[in-house]
Amino acid sequence: MELTKNITLGVYLPGKSFIHKLDPRTKIIAATIIIILLLLSRSYAAFALSALFIGSLMILSGIPTGYALRGLKPMLPVLVIMWIFQLFLFKEPGANVYFHWWIFEATEAGLHMGNLIILRVLFLFTVTTFLTLTTSVVSLTDGLESLLKPLRMIGLPSQELVMTLVIALRFVLILAEELEKIIKAQMARGVAFDQGNFIQKTRKIFPVFLPLFIGAFKRAEELIVAMDARSYTGGKGRTKMKTLHMGRVDLTAAAGMLAYSGLLIYIIISTEPMI
């Protein structure tokens, strides 16, 4: 029983690559731009370019591609269900019909819609995972805080917001560990999580949730005590141990991003959308 093995979101993989050395702000801005462009992409050519770009970044970073994509494994059944729903239920008048039964119709439009949604989810997940894999929690916090600082003027508690976000990210892994413990405890007393078909397995998951949530609340409470004990009072008056500096690598990265964005926007405008 090892659940944490397949969780890559929120995990940091230390390294010495060009990507690891970038200022966290550069990486956050770049990831945001990539995500916005992905949401605007509607053609296969645009996704192909993004795949090429992200793929080469991954090779540059030295992060094993297999590991970066491993986090997708648990999501696979959900993605397949989403795809099937789109295929059969998305309707557009005048679209090519492949298959027809009762109220279900598999159309060409549905197929493309399904593909589009799956591609978006896959890419969004990969980009965010890639960001956390190459950026430690500390620098992620520093970067986000520094980027959101101007919003303090309009009364946005940026430091607190970032702290919440980072804690949420950490809790992905903590909850998975907690879940693993509960499953082990129940397995040890006779629940066969590892036996039975898909539906039987899914049904056994429900009695796990109650203790999981109780455990999560307990963890949150412990965290509050730990933060209080170290006199955490929010962002006001906090200083930084490490200050952020942009360097030549960041400039190179900006140039690379500019080239990619320009090319992608050109493709988005000029190619026929899939739907």
Q: Which is nearer to another protein, 57 or 113 (CB)?
A: 57
Q: Which is nearer to another protein, 207 or 234 (CB)?
A: 207
Of 89, 121, 124, the residue nearest 106 (C-alpha): 89
Q: Binding residue for another protein (CB under 8 A) from 93, 94, 155, 190?
A: 190
- Burial of 242: CB neighbours in 10 Å, binned 0-12, 13-18, 19+: exposed
Q: Binding segment for another protein among 18-26, 37-45, 118-126, 188-196 (CB under 8 A)? A: 188-196
Q: Which is nearer to another protein, 92 or 222 (CB)?
A: 222
Count of Cβ atoms closer than 10 Å to residue 53 Cβ:
19
Q: Which is nearer to another protein, 185 or 263 (CB)?
A: 185
| 2 near another protein, rule: CB under 8 A | yes
HSE toward the beta carbon, residue 268, CA cutoff 13 A: 15
Task: In whole angstroms, give the CA distance from residue 1 to residue 126.
Answer: 25
- Look up residue 178 and give its two tokens: 């907690």
Q: Which is nearer to another protein, 163 or 182 (CB)?
A: 182
Task: In whole angstroms, give the CA distance from residue 81 to residue 75.
Answer: 10
Q: Binding residue for another protein (CB under 8 A) from 187, 244, 265, 268?
A: 187
| 194 near another protein, rule: CB under 8 A | yes
DSSP string, 88-117: HH---TTPPEEEEETTEEEEHHHHHHHHHH
**β-sheet bridge partners, residue 107:** 97
| 189 near another protein, rule: CB under 8 A | yes
| 188 near another protein, rule: CB under 8 A | yes
| 197 near another protein, rule: CB under 8 A | no
Q: Using CB under 8 A as the criterion, which residues of the chain lie in contact with another protein when the complex forms?
A: 1-2, 4-5, 13, 63-64, 66-67, 70, 181-182, 184-192, 194-195, 210-211
